[in-house]
Structures are given as structure tokens and as C-alpha cells.
Structure 1
Amino acid sequence: MKWVKGSVIALVALVLVVVVALATWEPFFAEEGEAPPYREYTAEIVRDEYGVPMIYGDTDADVAYGVAIAHAQDDFFTLQDVVAMSKGRYAAIAGEEGAQFDFVYHLLDARGTAQREYPSLPADTRALFEAYAAGLNQYAADHPGEIKLAKLFPVDGEDVAAGFVLRQPFFFGLGNVIGPLVAGEELRREFGPDIPGFPRDGETIEPSAPDIMEQADEQASARPLVLPAGEDAAHLGSNAWAVSPEKSGGPTTLISNSHQPLRGGVAWYELGVQSGEGWHFTGANFPGSPFPFLGHNEDLGWTNTVNRPDMADVYKLEMNEDGTQYRLDGEWRDLESKTVTLPVKLGPLTLPIRRTVHRSVHGPVIENDNGFFAVRYGGMGSVQQLDAYYRINKASTLEEWQGQIARMAIPSTNFIYADREGNIAYVYNAAIPDRPEDVSANWRGILPGDRSELIWDGTVEYEEIPRVVNPASGWIYNANNEPFTAAGAGSDLDPEDFSPVLGIERKQTNRSRRAYRLLSDAETLDRAALERIKYDSAYEREGYVDMLFDQLETLEADGELAEARDLLLTWDFTADNEGRADALALLLIRDFMGAEYNNTEVPDLREELQDAVDHLNEHFGRIDPPMSDLLRLRQGDVDLPLDGGSDTLRASTTWDVDEDGRLSLRHGDSFIQWVEWPADGGRVSSRSIQPFGSATTRPESPHFTDQMQLYVDHRLKPVRFWPDEVRAAATSSITVTNAR
């Protein structure tokens, strides 16, 4: 029996060796990053009473170095996730969900794009990114106990650029194309008007695809593809307003009301910057950026909302028998293929999951049960957005700002603009593909991949996209709606003036309908009027809301379901925490809104209503609890009631269902900034708010929850922009440097 005992010991030892290997291989497998070439940086970080940093430096690069350190002081936890994404190693932190990000990282060739294009950026832009990387490295070196993943640092400017390449396409909905192709779902297109040869909104194009983690790897299989960045796929949202001094009766006003997740890699971080080279700006960025993406400087400001033009085309490739070549213009070409390793963390183990990614001259290629499909999208293969964002931060006039936007370097998002001269503007910014209009093609369907004339190059000219400058109405807004309702009757653009091949969306949201009506009805849009509009919590009975209530009026039910139906029919269409039906409506309405917005199947009303009734009864013992008991803003030990709905101007868009049945806000009103330039030419001032505070992942910080009550009460705090204001309100000031 000794040999049996010895065999068991050997087997146990072998298992232990395998377990240890799977638990430790990933850091050894990962390539060691390179730090940027040494350059000395010095920055001062001054924080106000809410912990919001203003970063000072002699040069822009000094400031960027300080931006990285200030942000890491508040949220190094999330910054590391973003760095891991930029290196294709996020699955080693986040497991199966992270594998989705890493697969897309390789599919889109984020690293290859950064390697090819980053060196061509202007020297001062690269200097900004190298300095930002140096700041991340400095913080990591000084705080080794906070590091999640070995060999994640050092990073350089190319790493930061790769993160931009990965995340930006998903703001215009690339995930709605790639996701179905890799997940076996129907591909739905939701752009443009009905025109000959174009499917109507909601029509399916072609079914596809097994999941990216095939059944052979059941233990490490991934969920359906999720967006690596951008707003919640089913509930996109943001609001923005600009008002001229003639319409406000006072200052030129810009209101930024972006709706982003309240935590994570695309949650807003508020900051200000000022350098000796003329960079002076306050606003907010996402983790992984050396500059603000929105806000204002002394002379002008802007904000953004997500737009979703048809920015991606799908081609079906004609392949040879062994799947190694595709036909183009009658000739066979080799399909580029490479095998990549996704380090997928499962409990204490990290499994090396091998996947093959493909590429053709069209772009990334996805293989599924129906064949090989190539995807080409606006902004593909470019990193010029890094330079364009930097330049608009430092623009001082409408002409200078618009000149940078006209580069079409920033792939997507609406821009709403205002300045000290009283100008207001709206730009439907999008690097829309320059599709040939003189060829026969269904650009919203599956295109034949064997015709090179369908492989467009570059984007349309700036003059071809919708934009409104200084409308007669005196106001501009966007709430993720089509660009043809932006400035009121007599000032709006005519959709007939724009080519259908552009694929401009034709969508309205409830927020859009409400804003358009309230703005149009107002004689004066002063601060009080704009506050009423911004925090409006009502629904128009149009679109999906009208459809839902038409169904309710004819729904046959008895017992408690009939009671719930009748209660909803008394609802005042306002999510203000005052009506008995508010909680029930909140639970019911979101999925109907998502179905309309995303062209998905309309939910079954009876099932949805029953689920809502069951939830309220289980957790509250009644179907009519106060909505404020149901919807909460929660962080740490702070637990506050909320108002607003999934598609109201006061936005409480999506939530997590906690164990006690309460809905903890996850995505909705996030960073709000209200900017005013006085009509008399005085200096700009602004106010802002965040849902939690400036240090969202630091429970020990006083700024973990210190803005929550203000947020719930519809109040804003002062923004410290001018040096005298910054110094007067300063609660701390530190100088950071990497000097040797």
C-alpha cells in the first residue's frame, strides 16, 4: 500500500503545484511597463472645503502630473482599473466581467493603434500625457500597499492613449454592434429616418453569434458583452442647456447635467487646473485623463451629451474553406489572425484563456456561426482626440473652439457651448464615416465584404453635420434627442437638409419633450426658471409613456393586480415623492423606456406590473409606499431619499436593488455644473455638485459623503476658480514633485 500512499501524495503535490501556478502566473506573464523618460515635475494641489482640487504648475505638464496625483489621492482604486483596461489585464482584477473588456481591447487593437499613432501627436500633447503617467507612477511607488495587481506600473503616455482608444467608441454605441455579433443576439440598428433600402427603426438585420467565451471553457465563460465605457447601454442620458443674455435677462448661462454611473471608470471627477502657460480650466474628467472633458475657462465653456449616429458598418466576408483568406475585388487576401491570452481571475486562481482575434482591411473581424463579419467605425485608428480635447481646454473664442471641433477628431458626443461674449452653440459632433452616396448599398444592413468601394476612408466634413449657433430663440438644449429639436420653433434645423446616409438618429426622450416644452413656454429663462426646468420630475404622455398607459387602461385584471392598475391610472405623471402611485410607476416605467430607446422588445405589462407589486409587498407590505422610502442615495453609512425617475430631467436612471428592497441609485444626475458670464463683462462664476463627494472610494475621507445632502436637496456648491477664491477657501495645500 506504500505505492498507493505515495501516489496520493504525489497527486496532491501536483495539484498544489497547479493551483500555485494558476494563482501566480499572470504577473510573471505580463510585460513590465516602461516609465516615461525622466523629467522633473512640480505641482501644487490646493483643496477647498469640499476637497475639490485646484492644481497649479509652471507648465501644463507640471499640472498634468499634479492631476494624476490628486486623482489618485481620492480614487486610486478606480484609476488602477482603468490602467489595467489600457493594458488588456482587467480580467486579472475583475474576473469574467473584465474578460469582456480585455477581449475588446485586443479586438479593436487598442495597443497597436496607440503604438502607431501616439508618436505623431504634437510634442506638447505628448508631454502632457507623459507627465500624467509620471504622476500615476509616482503615487504607485509611494503607496505600494494600495496596488491591486503586480507589474501594473509603471505606465507611460502610450498606455494612457490606449485607454482612450478602447473606451471612446462605446460612447456612440459600438457595443450595440459588437455585442450582438459576439453574443449570438439579433443585430438591431436604430439610426436615421425611413428611406428606401433602410430598415425602419427596430427592424433586425441578421442573427449571429456564440458568446466570446465558448462552451469549451465553461468554468471561465463570460456573460454577454457589456460596454467597456460610456453610459448604461439601456438607459443613456444627459441634459445640457445654454441661454443667451437676451433670453436670461442677465448672464450667459451654461448648465452641464451629465448622467453617468456614480462610481467606476466613467464616473466624473471634479477638478480645476491653472498653469503658467495659460491653461486655466475647471470642470470634470474621467479616470485616466490628464485634462477635463467638460467645464469652463475664463472665456468659454461647454458640456456634452451622448449622441448615437450610425458610426459603424458591418461587412460579411466571403471566406475560403479553411477560414484563412477572404475575397476582395475578386482576389484572395490573408486574414490577419493572432491568439491572445485573457488572464481571467476566478476566486484565488487566474486562468489563462486563449482567444483568437481577426482583422481584415475593413477593420476588426468577428467569427460566429453565420460566418465572418468585419466592423468599421468612425474614428477607428486615430488618437487625435487626445490633442483636440487639450486644445479646446485652452481655446478663448468661439472661432478657435469651433476650429478644433471641426477637425472631427473627437469621435462623438453632442457639444453645447457658451461664452463671455454671449454666444451659444450646439454641435452634433460625430466623426461620421464618409460613405459614398453614389454606390448601391444598404448602409444599415450587412454589407458585402468583397467590394472595396464600400470601404470608406475618413469622415464627413464639418459643414455636413448639424449645428446651431446663436439661434433667435436665445436657448439651446439637448437631452439625448435628435439634433432637429434643439432651439425651438423657427430656430430648429430641417432634417431634410441632411443626407440620410449620415445616419443621424431620429429619437426623442421624455426629457427632451419636457425640456422643449418648458423652454418654449418660458418668456424669460432666468436662474429661477432654469432651476425649475432642471429639476423637473414630470413625464409627458407621449411615446412609450402613452403606449404604457394605453395598455394599462385596457388591462384586464382582478385582485391586487387590478388595484395596482387602478392606482397607476390615478398617477399625476410626476416622480416627485408626493403621489401614492409614484413608487409603483418608478418600478414599472424604466423597462418600457429602455425598450423604446434601444429598439428592443416591449416588456409584457402584466408580468412587469406583477413583479412591481410583488417587490413592494415583499419589502414594504403595501403597493403604495412613499417613493422616497424606495429610491435612495446610499454611500457608506449615509442613506438619503431621492426623487426623479428614469427619464425625467431630475434623473434617477438606474439602480441596484439592495437586500432590503430599496433601490440604491447607480446612474443618473452625476456631475452638475452651472456656469454664468455676467452681461456687464464681469468674471465668470460657477456652481456644481456631485452625488457623493470628491473621494468616492475613500471611506475614511471627510469628502466621501459630504455633498450628498446638497445633492438630494437640489442645491449646488460654489466652484473655486479664481486664485483669490481658491486661496480663501483652501483647507489644504501640498506641493508634489518627482525631483531626484
Structure 2
Amino acid sequence: MVRVRGRRWKVLGALALLLVLAVIALSLWEPIGTYRAAPPPAGRYDVRIVRDRFGVPHIFGTRDEDVAYGLAYAHAEDDFGTLEEVMAMTRGRLGALTGQSGAATDYVAALLDVRATVDRDYLKQPADVRALLDAYAAGLNRYVEKHPGEARLAGLFPIDGKDVAAGFVLRSPFFFGLDTVLEALVKNEEMRPERGAPLHDAPNVTPAGPAEIEKGSNAFAVAPSRSADGATRLVSNAHQPWTGGVAWYEAVVHSREGWDFAGALFPGSPFPLLGHNRTLGWTNTVNRPDLIDVYKLRLNEAGDRYLFDGKWLPLQSRRIWLKVDMGPAVLPVPRTIYRSVHGPVIVNNKGAFAIRYAGADQLKMIEQYFRLNKARSFAEWQGAMAIQGVPATNFIYADAAGNIALFYNGLFPERRPGFAWDKLLPGDRSDALWTRSLPFDRVPRLVNPASGYLINANNTPFQAAGPGDELQPSAFSPLLGIETDFTNRGLRSIELMEADSSISEAELERIKYDTAFSRRSYAGSWLRRIAALELSGDPGLREAQALIAGWDWTLEGRGRADALALLVMRPANRQHYRRLAPPDPREELEKAAAHLREHWGRLDPPLGAVLRLRRGKTDLPLDGGPDVLRAAPLWDLEKDGRAKVRHGDSFIMFVSWDRAGRVRSRSMQPFGASSRPGSPHYADQAPLFVRHQLKPVLFDPTMLRGNVEREYRP
């Protein structure tokens, strides 16, 4: 008996040893078996970083590439954790860092063949663009070299310029809805007829990581003819997640090669993506033209060929291994990805579906953004736009010469008439397969309208300049798939601009921070549905209904009904924006009332008690809400019942050029320049943000005198 027990213990010990060895092997295989980049070409970078009193980096370099090097280093000082995740994403290793959500992004990167696009096109980029990308990579490598203990993923660094470029290729199509199409197909869901929009709710297959890319932003441009003092004004009011891979980072850059720019960028970008230089500026808002087509393939019985123009072509397939962090080890998870002549293919329970989308398989968006940064006139800026690398998003422009413009930018497919392009397309016909985008002169635009102003708030481009000055739908082919959606923000912007024939800077600020719903928006029908509810048998809900009936349609934080209205308007906005049927009014009223009674014991707590800006020890009241110009559309309900905002008004910038063409700008972020809890700039802008205040952008280097926190060379 003793011998038997001894043998059992030996067997158990051997099994335990094997288990330990397996865990060690699984923890080591991932970094050993991954691609390692050669460091960028060796070079010396002449760069100086100056931090102003808000911690915003001002990068000074002899060459443009010096500036890119310094920008990467400064950003890593403030948010290396996010930058590491972005670089892991470009290598297909995000799952090894963040688990299943990251692995979903890695799957998409492989499906879209991002690395193949970069490997094919990188050397075709202009030399100055490649130098910029390599310098940015070198700046991140330098930071890791000096702070090796911060890197969490073994073998990720050094990175190279190709890794930086891959981030642009992967993220670009997700701003016009590719994520929703992919997720619907992965989940075996039917595609809806409206421009391929899926039946499901919020996407989670997104290169932004855990925080999804939500479609939002406001933009205003005012010409001298409409401004009270003859100035030209531009307001950039992007709505992005407040943290993560698509959160804004503010910077000012100066190069002796003529690159002077103030604005904001995403982690992994070697240049600002919006803002201004001395003579011009622009901002972006997400648009939603129909830029994605889905094809149903006809497969043979074996499922390895598809019919195309009467011939059976091989369905390309490739086995990939996703790397998924499961705690003690990184596990390999096999997946097969497919491709046809159309593009990426997803095979699900309903068949094989090929996807074709605007801007696929190209890197031109990188050169386009850099050329926009360095443009000095409207003509030069339009020349950069004509590169046609950015596949979507509106561009709202203004300059020192008094020009204002809206470009409904998109790489519109050159489609043939005769197909229902907004529905599922036949995958067996070449005449249903477009191969080119329309030229830049076909892109809808509105330049210097007589009204003297332009707005966009993720609404149709046919509502941008006020009555009598709008683009006409009849002037554009329906094959472009131009959106016709109205947002409350768009309607409200037009109402406020039309009510003011001479707009001062202060009046433009009041418009931007407006918290009202237009009575012409979907809010009207939604509130009528709530008012029509028969609630005679439920006194508690009847009280909530009466409170909403007396609401003043604003979320400024002064009315008794504001908190209740905040909670009931969010689901209505969500459904409206996603082109879905309205939610059940009784159910939403019931949920909102129950939440307020549970946590406050009443239906009418102050809005600021419910809606909060929270970071570390900072906990401040907010106004605004979903689809108002003071945007706070997404939040997390925390244990104490408060709504912690995570997405909405993010980087705000007011730019003006006076009559003499001199530029001045002010900006604000919800938190601060740094994502490090120990930094004094972790949340130092938050008190100003909640009070609708702006800080000066110290764009001219002379303005830094007396405002420098520190100065150094990396």
C-alpha cells in the first residue's frame, strides 16, 4: 500500500512538473516566435522639448524628422502604456497584451492583410515621409532604451517605420463603419438593407482596444462677413474616447524646414491630425457615406472555390495563430482567414461573404496628412487633399485669407448603375466589382457660402450653411451613397447660427457649449411617445412622466428634470444614430426612474450629481449629454450610481485669424497632458473643462516666455 501511494505521488509530481513546464513554455513561445523589426536607420536627431505650464509639449527640431522623433519621445513620457498597445496592435500581438479583446483586433489586422499592404507600399512612399515614420519609431525606441522597465510585452521593441504606418492602415476604415459590418458577419447576423448596417448594437471588434470608436464631433467655421470683428474663426470639437488608442494628445511642433503646427493626434501618429499652422487650419468630423460593399460568394461543395464570371477560382486561405493572454500564459488560438478577388472574406453559418471597402490596401493617408500640415494656402491644402489617401471623414477648413470650406471627404467607389449597392451584392459577377475611386473633383464640397458660416455635427452635408446656401442632393449621384441623417447637434447648430447675423467670439463659444435639444429633432417624437404612455396604474412612473413633461429641453444642470432627461435621452440617441427603431419608452422611463430612486431616493437630483468627470482623486460635476453640442454621449454607471463620462467633448480648439491675418488659438482637454497618475498634469485641465474655460495655445515660440515648466533634449 505504501509503494502504491508512493507511485501515485511520483505520478502526481511528474504531472505537476509537466504542468509547470507547459506554463513556462506557453509564456515563452509568444515573444520568441514573433517578428522582430530591425531598428530604423541610425541617425542623430537634433530636437528640443519644451513643456509649458500645462505640460503640453512644444517640439523644436532642425528637420521635420527631428520633430517626429521628439514627438514620439514626449508622448511616451505622458502615455507609454497606450503607445505600447498601439504598437502591439500593428504587430498582431495586442492579444498577448490585453487578452481576448486584443486578439479580436489581431484577427481583423490579419483579415485585412495590413502587414502585406505596408510591406508592399512602404518603399513607394516619398523619402521625407519614410524619414518621418522612421524617426518617430526611433523616438519610441529611445524611450524604451532609457526606461526598459516600462515595457510589458517582451520583444516588441525596437519598432520601425513600417509598424507606425501599419497603425494608419488598420484604424482608417473603422471610422466609417467597417467594424459593425465585420462583427455582424462574425456573429452570423443578417445584414440590414440600409447601407449594410447590422442588426446588433455597439461594436466590440475595434482597433481602439477596449474603448470603441464612437462616431461624433462638432465643427464650425465662420468667415469675416459673418463675424462681429471681421475675423475668420474655426472651432474644432472632436468627440473621442477620453483614454486609449484613439484619445487625443495635444502638441505644438516647430521645424526649421517650415513645419509649424498646433493641434492634436492619436497615439502612434508622427504628426497632428487636426489643428492649425500660421495661415490655415482644419478639423474633422466623422461622416457615413456608403463606402463598404458586401458580396455573397457561391462556393463549391468543398468550400475551397468560388464562382466568378463562370469560372471556379480558388478561395485563398491562410492559417493564423492568435496570441491570447490568459493570465499565467499566452495561449495560441488558431483561426483561418480567407480572401477573394473582392477582398477579405468571412465564412459563417449563412455562407461566405466578401467585403470591399474604400481606401483598402494603401498608405497614401500618411503623406496626405503630412502635406496638409505643411500647406500654406488654400490651393496647397487642396493639393494635399487631392492625394486622396484618407478614405472618409469631413474636413472643415478656414484660413487667414478669409476662406472657409466643408469637404465631404470620401474615396467614393466608382460604381456601375444597375445594382442595389446598399444591399447584399452578387459575388459571382465582375461587373458588380468596382476597382477605382472617383477623382477628387467629384468629392462634395461647399466653399465660401454666402451665409458666411459652415457647420457639421455628423449630419448630412446637405445641412451645413443654412437655408438658401446648402448643397442640393439632386446635384450628386445616388451611387455615392451620401448620408441624409440629421443629428440634434446639426439642427441645433443651424438654428443658433441663423439666429445671429453677426457672431462674436463669445457668442460662438456659447453656441459650442449649448446643451439644448431642437424641437425639430428626434427628441420631439421620443418625448411625445413618453407623454402618450398610459400609466394610470403606476403612480411612480406617472410622476416621472410628469417631470419629463415639464422639462425645458436643455441639459444645463439647473432644471429639476435634467438628470431624468439625461438617462432617457441616451437610448433614444443611440437608436437614432444607428438608424434603428426607437426603444420602448415605458421600459426606458422605468429604468431611468428606478436608477435615480435607488441611488438618490428621488427623481430630481441635480444633473451634476449624476454626470461626473472622474479621474484619480478628481471628481467634478458635468453638464451636457448625448447629442447636444456640449457632448457627453457615453458613460459608465458606477457603484454609487454616478455616470462617469468616458467619451464626448475631448480636444477642443478655438482658432481665429484677425483682419491682419494673425493667428491666435485656445484649447482644452477633459483631463490633462499626461496619463500618468503621478503627474501634475494628470487632471489639471479638468476644473477648467467643466467650467467651459479654455487655455491659450502658446503657438508662437515667443509666447513661451514665462510659461515654461521644463526644457530638455531626449
- TM bracket, shorter-chain basis: over 0.9
Q: Percent identity?
A: 52
Secondary structure of the 1:246 match is coil
Secondary structure of the 2:272 match is coil
1:686 aligns with 2:690: no
1:735 aligns with 2:689: no
Map 1:193-272 to 2 at 5 A: 225-229=204-208, 236-250=215-229, 251-272=231-252
1:409 aligns with 2:389: yes
1:33 aligns with 2:37: yes
- In structure 2, relative to structure 1, the CA distance for the partners of 1:99 and 1:660 (3 Å cut) is same
Match of 1:418 in 2: 398
Match of 1:443 in 2: 421
Q: Pick the aligned partner of 1:539 from 493, 517, 525.
A: 517
Which runs of 5 or more residues in structure 2 are unaligned?
Answer: none
1:573 aligns with 2:563: no
Match of 1:83 in 2: 87
What is the alpha-carbon distance in structure 2 between the residues aligned to residue 231 and residue 550 of structure 1? 36
Q: CA deviation at 1:545?
A: 1.0
Contact 2:211 2:244 in 1 (8 A): no
Match of 1:664 in 2: 644
Match of 1:6 in 2: 10
- In structure 2, relative to structure 1, the CA distance for the partners of 1:715 and 1:348 (3 Å cut) is same
Q: CA deviation at 1:224?
A: 6.7
Map 1:388-407 to 2 at 5 A: 388-407=368-387
Q: Pick the aligned partner of 1:65 from 63, 69, 91.
A: 69
Match of 1:710 in 2: 688
Contact 2:122 2:363 in 1 (8 A): yes
Map 1:231-380 to 2 at 5 A: 236-250=215-229, 251-380=231-360
Secondary structure of the 1:6 match is helix
Secondary structure of the 2:27 match is helix
Match of 2:496 in 1: 518
Match of 2:367 in 1: 387
Match of 2:451 in 1: 473
What is the alpha-carbon distance in structure 1 between the residues aligned to residue 521 and residue 104 of structure 2? 34
Instruction: Give the counterpart letter for 1:346 in structure 2.
Output: M
Contact 1:436 1:454 in 2 (8 A): yes
What is the alpha-carbon distance in structure 1 between the residues aligned to residue 144 and residue 376 of structure 2? 36
- In structure 2, relative to structure 1, the CA distance for the partners of 1:172 and 1:484 (3 Å cut) is same
What is the alpha-carbon distance in structure 1 between the residues aligned to residue 358 and residue 701 of structure 2? 40
Secondary structure of the 1:245 match is coil
- In structure 2, relative to structure 1, the CA distance for the partners of 1:230 and 1:82 (3 Å cut) is closer
Contact 1:231 1:260 in 2 (8 A): no
1:46 aligns with 2:13: no
Q: What are the superposed Cα offsets for residues 86-108 of structure 1, whole Å, 9 maximum, x if unpaired? A: 11110111111111111101010
Instruction: Give the counterpart letter for 1:674 in structure 2.
Output: F
Instruction: Give the counterpart letter for 1:493 in structure 2.
Output: L
Contact 2:214 2:240 in 1 (8 A): no
Match of 2:463 in 1: 485
Secondary structure of the 1:432 match is coil
Instruction: Give the counterpart letter for 1:97 in structure 2.
Output: S
What is the alpha-carbon distance in structure 1 between the residues aligned to residue 46 and residue 602 of structure 2? 60
- In structure 2, relative to structure 1, the CA distance for the partners of 1:235 and 1:549 (3 Å cut) is farther
What is the alpha-carbon distance in structure 1 between the residues aligned to residue 211 and residue 406 of structure 2? 24
What is the alpha-carbon distance in structure 2 between the residues aligned to residue 311 and residue 496 of structure 1? 20
Q: CA deviation at 1:232?
A: 7.4
Match of 2:170 in 1: 166
What is the alpha-carbon distance in structure 1 between the residues aligned to residue 307 and residue 700 of structure 2? 61
What is the alpha-carbon distance in structure 1 between the residues aligned to residue 50 and residue 11 of structure 2? 65
What is the alpha-carbon distance in structure 1 between the residues aligned to residue 349 and residue 521 of structure 2? 36
Q: What are the superposed Cα offsets for residues 192-249 of structure 1, whole Å, 9 maximum, x if unpaired? A: xxxxxxx9xx8x7xx89xxxxxxxxxxxxxx974322499769521000000112102
Return 483-492 or 545-554, whichever deviates more.
545-554
What is the alpha-carbon distance in structure 2 between the residues aligned to residue 19 and residue 561 of structure 1? 56
Q: What are the superposed Cα offsets for residues 371-404 of structure 1, whole Å, 9 maximum, x if unpaired? A: 1110000001110010010001000010110111
Aligned length: 706
Return 601-610 or 520-529, whichever deviates more.
601-610
Contact 2:249 2:266 in 1 (8 A): yes
What is the alpha-carbon distance in structure 2 between the residues aligned to residue 326 and residue 539 of structure 1? 51
- In structure 2, relative to structure 1, the CA distance for the partners of 1:538 and 1:230 (3 Å cut) is farther
What is the alpha-carbon distance in structure 1 between the residues aligned to residue 365 and residue 299 of structure 2? 35
Secondary structure of the 2:633 match is strand
Q: CA deviation at 1:610?
A: 1.5
Which runs of 5 or more residues in structure 1 are unaligned?
Answer: 192-198, 209-222
Secondary structure of the 1:664 match is strand
1:97 aligns with 2:101: yes
Contact 2:215 2:286 in 1 (8 A): yes
Map 1:555-574 to 2 at 5 A: 555-557=533-535, 558-574=538-554
Instruction: Give the counterpart letter for 2:344 in structure 1.
Output: P
Q: What are the superposed Cα offsets for residues 626-679 of structure 1, whole Å, 9 maximum, x if unpaired? A: 110000001110100000011100111101111211111100000000001011
Match of 2:580 in 1: 600
Instruction: Give the counterpart letter for 1:472 in structure 2.
Output: A
Q: CA deviation at 1:185?
A: 2.5
Return 30-39 or 46-55, whichever deviates more.
30-39
Contact 2:398 2:405 in 1 (8 A): yes
What is the alpha-carbon distance in structure 2 between the residues aligned to residue 567 and residue 642 of structure 1? 21
Match of 1:723 in 2: 701
Match of 1:183 in 2: 187
Instruction: Give the counterpart letter for 1:729 in structure 2.
Output: N
What is the alpha-carbon distance in structure 2 between the residues aligned to residue 458 and residue 148 of structure 1? 42
Secondary structure of the 1:674 match is strand
Q: What are the superposed Cα offsets for residues 530-583 of structure 1, whole Å, 9 maximum, x if unpaired? A: 111101000012343122111111111212111111111111110011111111
Contact 1:183 1:225 in 2 (8 A): no
Instruction: Give the counterpart letter for 1:279 in structure 2.
Output: W
Q: CA deviation at 1:308?
A: 0.8
What is the alpha-carbon distance in structure 2 between the residues aligned to residue 224 and residue 599 of structure 1? 14
Q: What are the superposed Cα offsets for residues 471-524 of structure 1, whole Å, 9 maximum, x if unpaired? A: 100000100000001111121100111000100111010000100111111111
1:133 aligns with 2:111: no
Q: What are the superposed Cα offsets for residues 677-716 of structure 1, whole Å, 9 maximum, x if unpaired? A: 01123x2110000000000x21111111110010000000
Secondary structure of the 1:22 match is helix
Instruction: Give the counterpart letter for 1:154 in structure 2.
Output: P
Contact 2:174 2:213 in 1 (8 A): no
Match of 2:566 in 1: 586
What is the alpha-carbon distance in structure 1 between the residues aligned to residue 214 and residue 259 of structure 2? 35
RMSD: 1.6
Normalising by structure 1, we get a TM-score of: 0.93
